[in-house]
């Protein structure tokens, strides 16, 4: 079974084809290196999580792949991984490849033999949209407490 069949028969992406906010990313990459593992706390529930960035790529370019918790231990330098239904996000203005909740990945036996680290897409800076709109005093909202009673 070829890697393309593993990915649902789709031809898949090459790293150079990735754009900010790309979705349904299917590609096979080689893991070049693992960045330092760090711990973060969820804003939602206060739980602790481990996170690490891996430099991955193919013959067209490279990008940082962000992995969380137990998935960190499933990836080793020098191995090939096939990512299915991944996505691209912007972290501090630079692109990151993510597997996410609806995606998956697995180690495969074959992949790109050469990685183009000179074309690192994560080193390019992109303008990032603001997440939240500012609160306007005259809009009927008052400091995040819902509707203001008008007299």
pLDDT band for position 21 (cuts 50, 70, 90): confident
Q: Where are the beta strands (DSSP E) in 3-151?
A: 25-34, 38-41, 48-58, 61-68, 80-91, 94-98, 104-108
Structural domains of the chain ordered from first start? 3-139 (2.40.50.140)
CB 86, CB 103: distance < 8 Å: yes
pLDDT for 129: 66
Which residue in this structure is represented by tokens 């137990």?
Answer: 70
Identify the pLDDT of residue 9.
35
* Beta bridge mates, 40: 49
pLDDT in tens, 67-96: 999 999 999 999 999 999 999 998 888 899
Give the pTM: 0.74
Residue 98 has pLDDT above 90, yes or no: yes
Instruction: Write out the two tokens for 79.
Output: 């191995």
């Amino acid at each position: 079974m070829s890697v393309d069949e593993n990915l649902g028969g789709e031809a898949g992406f090459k790293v150079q084809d990735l754009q900010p906010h790309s979705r349904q990313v299917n590609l096979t990459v080689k893991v070049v290196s693992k960045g330092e593992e760090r711990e973060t706390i969820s804003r939602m529930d206060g739980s602790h999580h481990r996170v690490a960035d891996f430099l991955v790529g193919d013959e067209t370019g490279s990008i940082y792949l962000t992995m969380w918790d137990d998935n960190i231990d499933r990836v080793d330098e020098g191995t090939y991984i096939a990512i299915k239904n991944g996505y691209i996000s912007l972290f501090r203005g630079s692109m990151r490849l993510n597997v996410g909740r609806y995606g998956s990945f697995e180690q495969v036996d074959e992949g790109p033999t050469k990685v183009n680290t000179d074309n690192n897409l994560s080193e390019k800076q992109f303008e990032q949209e603001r997440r939240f709109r500012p609160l306007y005093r005259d809009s009927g909202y008052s400091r995040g407490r819902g509707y203001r009673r008008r007299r």
